[in-house]
Amino acid sequence: MNQTNTKQGDSYHRPVMVEEVLSYFQETAGLLVDATYGGGGHASALLQSNPELRVLGIDRDLDAMSRVPVGHGDPRLHLVTANFGDLEKILAREAPNGDLAGALFDLGVSSHQLDVAGRGFSFHSPGPLDMRMGPDATQSADDIVNRWSPGDIATILRDYGEERFAGRIAEAIVKARPIGDTVELASVIANAVPAPARRRKHPARRSFQAIRIAVNGELAALRRGLDAALDALRPGGRAVVISYHSLEDRIVKRRFASGATECTCPPDMPVCGCGTVAELRLLTRGGQRPSPAEIENNPRARSAVLRAVEKVTI
Ligand SMILES: C[S@@+](CC[C@H](N)C(=O)[O-])C[C@H]1O[C@@H](n2cnc3c(N)ncnc32)[C@H](O)[C@@H]1O
């Protein structure tokens, strides 16, 4: 079933921190890019709550785009299947006057993508070693798991999964080849991890995250997409990003902080020599978290961190 608004149709994806997102765009008029359209939950809530908004919805997943939820036929919603890493090009084509009023990134995968075993994102049910978010991804999980060298696998497990046992897991994966599906991969990983480390969260969680990030080039796309969105924002325009793990959040936090940096000259310099002028104003400090009630209702919200900025008039 399609997600048709924020109150019904939860089966595709229940949007996270909707009230908080709406609050940042209450006064926004003009074009907002929803770079991670997914089930359209945020987009439909934004369109319903603010008649002054038009939404350009982007998702690299054809499945998300083929569902055409609320807003279909709404002249204020325009959908594009693309990778937000190409946002600069997309905006040049879709919003050529460069007058962007808002940008929203709700990162990661949707519940739908996780729940459909055939996409290969989940370690709970057997699925192919795929994990591609969209057809633009140039490799699949199978390429990494069954073909990469142990050294390269260990590197992504460490860099993208912050996995302590990266080396052991990589060796175990290579030894168990060919690995046929996601559950087999999860079990190889679980057996490679020392017993005490298996107790808290699923021992394959970090490795699956790492492989997914590598397959989809997620961090590079985030850096490029965020730069393009912030460049295109008009003065007073706002960007909101919801991240679900520390690697994403670190990129967002640093990009926002660097954009909000004022003159860096020593305080005793009579005149500014560095020329640094803040282009952004931070609207959140330390990142905003979902309420305990939301986390109780929607456990997938528990790792969410929201950061928001406003483009400054220079
Ligand atoms: C957490 S879901 C977004 C859910 C959406 N906000 C809603 O309310 O239904 C993340 C979505 O972003 C998409 N996505 C992730 N990375 C992307 C990228 N680089 N370019 C375009 N879409 C991306 C995924 O395919 C997924 O559908």
Look up residue 26 and give its amino acid: Q
- Which of 196, 216, 236 corresponds to the end of one domain? 216
Same domain, 42 and 64: yes
User: Could you give the angle at the alpha carbon of 49 between the alpha carbons of 46 and 50, nearest 5°?
Assistant: 80
Specify if 243 maps to a domain.
yes
Q: CA-CA distance, 54 to 47, in Å (whole number)? A: 7
- Which of 216, 231, 256 corresponds to the end of one domain? 216
Specify if 264 maps to a domain.
yes
Q: Could you give the number of structural domains in the chain?
A: 2
Contact 34, 76 (CB under 8 A): no
- CA-nearest residue for atom 15, ligand 1, is 108
Atom of ligand 1 nearest to the CA of 134: 25
Same domain, 98 and 148: no
Which residues constitute the domain of residue 33?
Answer: 18-112+218-311
pLDDT at 12: 77
Atom of ligand 1 nearest to the CA of 59: 22
Atom of ligand 1 nearest to the CA of 44: 8
pLDDT < 70 regions, the chain: 1-10, 67-72, 314
Same domain, 207 and 223: no
Ligand 1 centroid, distance to 228 Cα (angstroms): 17
Contact 142, 129 (CB under 8 A): yes
CA contacts within 13 A on the Cβ side of 139:
15
Ligand 1 centroid, distance to 293 Cα (angstroms): 24
Instruction: Identify which of 256, 231, 237 has the alpha carbon closest to the alpha carbon of residue 306.
Output: 256
pLDDT at 69: 53
Q: Token pair for residue 303?
A: 């790792």
Residue keyed to tokens 């073909």:
147
pLDDT at 72: 58
Contact 29, 53 (CB under 8 A): yes
Ligand 1 centroid, distance to 59 Cα (angstroms): 6
Specify if 209 maps to a domain.
yes
Tens of pLDDT, residues 17-37? 999 999 999 999 999 999 999
Specify if 175 maps to a domain.
yes
Specify if 124 maps to a domain.
no
Same domain, 104 and 179: no
CATH number of the domain that residue 245 is part of: 3.40.50.150
Tens of pLDDT, residues 234-252? 999 999 999 999 999 999 9
Ligand 1 centroid, distance to 37 Cα (angstroms): 5
Q: CA-CA distance, 129 to 141, in Å (whole number)? A: 5
Look up residue 243 and give its amino acid: S
Same domain, 235 and 162: no
Atom of ligand 1 nearest to the CA of 42: 8
- Which of 216, 242, 273 corresponds to the end of one domain? 216
Same domain, 201 and 63: no
Same domain, 250 and 203: no
Q: CA-CA distance, 37 to 57, in Å (whole number)? A: 5
- CA-nearest residue for atom 2, ligand 1, is 110
pLDDT at 10: 53
3-state SS class at 237? strand
Same domain, 105 and 242: yes
Specify if 293 maps to a domain.
yes
Specify if 128 maps to a domain.
no
Ligand 1 centroid, distance to 83 Cα (angstroms): 9
What are 103's strand-pairing partners? 33, 239
Residue ranges lining ligand 1, Cβ < 6 Å = 3, 13, 15, 36, 38-42, 58-61, 64, 83-85, 106, 108-110, 133, 221
CATH number of the domain that residue 153 is part of: 1.10.150.170
b/e code 82-120 from CB counts within 10 Å (16+ = b) = bbbbbbeebbeeebeeeebbbbbbbbbbbbbbbbebebb
- CA-nearest residue for atom 14, ligand 1, is 36
Ligand 1 centroid, distance to 146 Cα (angstroms): 27
pTM of the model: 0.93
Ligand 1 centroid, distance to 108 Cα (angstroms): 6
